[in-house]
Structure formats: C-alpha cells, structure tokens
Amino acid sequence: MRSYGRRHRRWNRRNPQPLLFVPDEPLTLAALAAIGRALYRYRSELAPITTAVILAVAGLILHHTHPGAWPLIAALTVAAALAAALRGVPWGLTRTAERAYAATTTAVAGTWLAVAAALGPVRSPLLTVLVVAVVPFGIPWWGHRRRRARVRVDRVINAWPNLAEVIGLTGSRIMSAVVDTWGWRARLKLRPGQSVTDVVTRVPAIESALGTRPGAVRVEQDPAHAGRCTMRVLAIDPHAGAIPWPGPTARTLADPIELGVFEDATPVRVALLRKHALIGGTTDSGKSGVLNVVLGNLAACADVVLWGIDLKGGMELRPWAPCLARLATTPEEATELLADAVAVLDARAHASGRDNSRVWEPTPAAPALVIVIDEYAELADTAPDAVGHAESIARRGRALAVDLLAATQRPTQKAMGGGALRSQMSIRVCLRVRERRDVDLILDKGMLTDGWHAHTLDAPGKFYILADGHDQPRRARAYLVTDELVRQTAARYADQRPDLDPLSRAAIDHQPKPIEPPRPAADDPEQTLLTVLDQAPADGLTARELIDLTGMGRTWIYNRLQAHATTGRARQVTRGHWRT
C-alpha cells in the first residue's frame, strides 16, 4: 500500500494535473459579483470617486428635468455647509478639522451641482473640474486615521463569525464597536455556555486572528451579564511612555490617592484609610516607584505620621527621611519600630475600649500611623520577631488607624507568615512578575485564570490593582516620581508633618529601649553632647532630649548640632532625631 502511494506521488509529480474550474454560473455573472463585492468592500476608500459620479449623474438629470432649480440647490448647499461647520451634522463630527473638511466639501459639491443643473455637467470645464477635485478632496479622506480605523473595525465585525470559529469562540457575536483614541473596543455577546474566561484564555489567538501586536487585546467582563464582555484592541499602547507625577492629590488619609492612569486615561484612585496595602512585582518592576507616589501623597497629608523600614540600608526610603518620623534600616531597628507600633496599637485599643469608640478617626492632633516597608521578604528573613509584630498590626491596625504598606518581590507563604498577613491586605498592586503563578501569590488564587496577566506587563510601573472598586483586570501605569521630585516634595512637606498624639507617644516611651542614653556627669557640655549622641538609640535623640541631657538651651543645642552636622560628626537620622 505504501509503495503504491510513493509510485502514485512520483507519477503525479511527472504528470501534473491541470487545475480545472467548473463554474456553476456564467463567467460574466461571477465576474460582476466579484466586482460588486470588491466595490462594496472598498466603498469607504472609493467614496470620493463615488460622490463625483453621483454628482455628475445628478447634474445631468437635474439639468434635463429642473434646470431652474439651481437657486434652491445653492440655498440648500449654504444651509448644509453651515450645519456641517457649526454642528458637525449629519455626521456627528466633533473635531474642528473634520467639520471644516465636511463644510468645504459640501460647499464645493453643492456649488458644482447648482452650476451643473443650470448649464449642464458636460459644459466645459465642469467635468474636468469635477475629476480634478476628486484628488485634493480625496487625499484628506484617504489619509484620515479615524476613518481608516473605522473601516478596519467594520471589516473585523463582518469577518467575526469566521474568525470566532478559528479562535474557538464559535457563536459569539460583536454587538457594537466604537473607535477611540487608542484603537477600538467592541461589545461581545457570547454563545450560551461560553464565559469570559473562555475569551481571556484565547486572547493570544484573538491577537493572531486580528493581526495585532502581541499584548494589544484586553477583555473586560460586563458586570451586568456573565455572557457578555468588552474586547479592547489597542493599536497604540497608551502606556508606552512614562507618565509624570502631577503632584499629591490627597490632603488627608481619607482622600483617594491617585497612583497612575488606566489605559482609558481614567485615574487609578485608591484610599488608604483603614486599609493595608501590598505591592508586589519582580526586581525593577517599579515597586519603589509606586511607593514614591504613595509617599508623595501621604507626605502632604496632615493627619498621617510616617514610619519607614528599608533593609536595603535605607537606599529607597532615605530620600523621604525629612518626612519620616522614623526610619529603620537594620533588622534590629525594624523589630524595635514594629514593636513600638504594636505598643501604639495597644494603647489606642485600650483608649478606644475605655471611651467606647469603635474606630480611631485620624486628625492632625491624633494622626494615623502608616508604616511603609520596602522589601518585606527581607524583613521576614532577617527579623523573624518583626513578623509577629507586623501580623499583629495587620490584624488589629485598621480600626485604630495603624496601616501597613509593604512592597515585596515575591510574597511567598514563608515571607507572608503563611498568608496571614497577605489576607489582611485589601489593596493589592501587582507589577510585572517573572512567573505566572506569582500573580495568584500577590493578588489571590485564580486571578491569573481570570485574566490578571501581570506576567505580560512589559514596562516598569505598569500594574494591575485589586481593591475596593477595582475588581476588573485593567492595566494601569503608575506615575513616575523622579528623584528630584522626591527631594522637592520631601523638603516641601517636612515642616508640616504632625507628631504622634500624646497617648501613642507615651506608649512608645514606656517600651523598653535596647540602649538607654546615659546621663553624663561631665561638666563640659560639648563633651556631654557628643557622648549622648554617640550612645543615642538607633532612631536618635530629639532636641528636647538633648536639652534635658546636657542642661543647655535650645539655641546652643541647634548651633552645635549644625556645626557637628557640617563636619559629619552628627547626623539627623530622621526629622528632628539626632545621633552620631
């Protein structure tokens, strides 16, 4: 059997069969049908020529039947041109350039028709004028970007039944489509039994069938109907370039913070009050960038005290030091900082219980405490005691206005304390991840299958957000806060930062400190100052404490601190806290 097949193929190669067409309709009819189909398919491109032909025929008919109608045609032309220029009717045009084009074309075509009706279209040079006018009026038409986009969309809609079959979405229908600034979007009606997950899993196939670049198609569930969704096709990536930070949008913690913009140019707004937030993403995905936007906003809030933990030696958070009441850069300092936060929490819980108030309302006099942790996994690895404190804050902090904002490369079960901490974080920002399963780690189980494809994000700062009011997988890009802007913002708000309320301060003061500044006996205040600065705790000593310890006045203390800061003998650890 096999040898017959080989012989047969060889014979076929030597004696190729002529290809035979057996038309089941006359050739002229088939040719006319093909021409008709081509004319219909390219009707938009042919519109200037079609218009010229219609004008010529109309001119001929009018000249023979109503040669005296030219004043009426002229009057109608003026009215139509004015309507097009002033209102964009009847095409619903909104742009000035489009209205100007429509008005000019209407005026020229109407004038030509009026003259042709009066004199006859074959009267020289009327026909020449008509043929020549097709080119200058056709060029803007052929080149118009939105028209071409609309035509492309029309063709996709017509071809959708076939495409859907190829893609594996047989029976789905495009109900409507709109061309927008970045591309187009269509409302899809799925066949009963199909779901949005089916569409999401076929996104690469849709991109291939539509001939778009990879990553150009987005699918959003219709919140009102499980069998419908919106498919967005982005011809241009709206997030291709960095988006500069416009400055803080929040003035109190209750105000929503604007993190960046979605692909439809709507801002990403999220309020941090009584919420913990997790920011996850691989290295260089823009975690510190998102933290900078949040810190830039919180620095402008008069009802927030900011503490920071940065175990990369303060590399990321130190630029914000003027606005941070505390900054921990070692595991020991971090553990102490979180222990103090738990003490604040306990004191506030006690006071709330005593006063019968359920929640702590942040005010400038009794501010919220927000603890920003850069690289949480590092903290979990190097300071296991700190993790217990962090979990306690995550569990109890929301009502008492002690919030956590943690960034991490990979919130593994180990790093997140078996998930206890992560489950308390109701704001999740997922930047680019290296492995697909990290999406579920950062956001939640099943989010990858639901279309939160963070592994396809292709530039730093691009993210998905899961929070109240953000439950659809929509791509966004964070604003870019440059180093210079960080410096300017930190300097601008440094003087306006509130202090913790007396209750919280007292709770911290009663915490056992690892290093107690000794009370020096020496008579030389300069020597005393240097000794206490040398032996100051990691978070430094305040001017008030230095006054008490040296017995000197405020002006003397500030002058000496300034002098020692210039020579590098003393430094400000955070705003108003000094040590050597």
Ligand X SMILES: Nc1ncnc2c1ncn2[C@@H]1O[C@H](COP(=O)(O)OP(=O)(O)OP(=O)(O)O)[C@@H](O)[C@H]1O
397/461 with CB nearer ligand X: 461
Residue 232 or 410: which CB sits closer to ligand X? 410
- How many other CB atoms sit within 10 Å of the CB of residue 185? 20
Q: Which is nearer to ligand X, 286 or 331 (CB)?
A: 286
Number of residues that bind ligand X (CB under 6 A): 15
Residue 298 CB neighbour total at 10 angstroms: 26
Binding-site residues from annotation for ATP: 281-288
Smallest gap from Cβ 171 to ligand X, in A, equals 41
Minimal distance, residue 311 CB to ligand X, in Å: 11
Q: Per-residue contact track with ligand X, 462 to 491, x per CB under 6 A?
A: ---------------xx-x-----------
User: Is 304 a residue that touches ligand X (CB under 6 A)?
Assistant: no
Q: How far is the C-alpha of 554 from the C-alpha of 563, rounded, in Å?
A: 14
- Minimal distance, residue 216 CB to ligand X, in Å: 20
Helix H or strand E segment including 149: helix 145-167
Which of the residues 341 through 370 are near ligand X (CB under 6 A)?
Answer: none
254 burial via Cβ count (<10 Å: 0-12, 13-18, 19+): middle
The answer to whether the CB of 447 falls within 8 A of the CB of 439 is yes
177 versus 480: smaller Cβ distance to ligand X: 480
Residue among 461, 473, 517, 540 that touches ligand X (CB under 6 A): 461
**Which residue's CB is nearer to ligand X, number 50 or number 482?**
482
Measured from the CB atom, the residue of 316 and 340 that comes closer to ligand X is 316
Closer residue to ligand X (CB): 296 or 461: 461
Nearer to ligand X, 374 or 539 (CB): 374
Q: DSSP assignment of 241-303, as one string?
A: S-EE------SSTTSPEEEEEETTS-EEEE--TT--EEEE--TTSSHHHHHHHHHHHHHT-TT
| Of residues 141 and 262, the one with the C-beta less far from ligand X | 262
- Most distant CA atoms of the chain, gap in Å: 120
Joined together, the tokens standing for residue 423 give 């489950």
Residues 394-433 that bind ligand X (CB under 6 A): 409
Q: Determine contact, residues 254/203, Cβ cutoff 8 Å.
A: no
Contact 145, 181 (CB under 8 A): no
Name the token pair of 382: 């190097």
- Rounded least distance, CB 294 to ligand X, Å: 12
Residues in region 186-245 near ligand X by CB under 6 A: 242
Give dist(CA 393, CA 401) in Å, integer: 10
Residue with tokens 């859907």: 164
Q: How far is the CB of 542 from ligand X (least distance, A)?
A: 31
Q: Among 87-95, 118-126, 279-287, 522-530, which window interacts with ligand X (CB under 6 A)?
A: 279-287
The tokens for 386 are 């700190």
Q: Tell me if 230 sits within 8 A of 187, measured CB to CB.
A: yes
> Least distance from C-beta 255 to ligand X, angstroms?
21
Tokens 């791509």 found at = 475
Nearest distance in Å: CB 461, ligand X = 2
The contacts found for 382-389 with CB under 8 angstroms, 24 or more apart, are 382/311, 382/331, 383/331, 383/332, 383/334, 383/335, 385/335, 385/339, 386/331, 386/334, 386/335, 386/338, 387/417, 387/421, 389/335, 389/338, 389/339, 389/341, 389/342
Give the count of beta carbons closer than 10 Å to the beta carbon of residue 135.
9
259 by DSSP, 3-state: which? strand
CB of 378 to ligand X, least distance (A): 10
Of 60-68, 223-231, 278-286, 337-345: span binding ligand X (CB under 6 A):
278-286
Report 283-302 residues binding ligand X (CB under 6 A): 283-289
For residue 296, the minimal CB distance to ligand X (Å) is 12
Nearer to ligand X, 63 or 470 (CB): 470
Q: In DSSP terms, which residues pair with 243 in a beta bridge?
A: 479
The pair phi, psi for residue 406, each rounded to 5°, is -115, 135
Q: What is the DSSP string of 183-220?
A: EEEEEEEPPTT--HHHHHHTHHHHHHHHT--TT-EEEE
CB of 481 to ligand X, least distance (A): 8
Nearest residue by C-beta to ligand X?
461
Residues forming the site for ligand X (CB under 6 A):
242, 281, 283-289, 409, 460-461, 477-478, 480
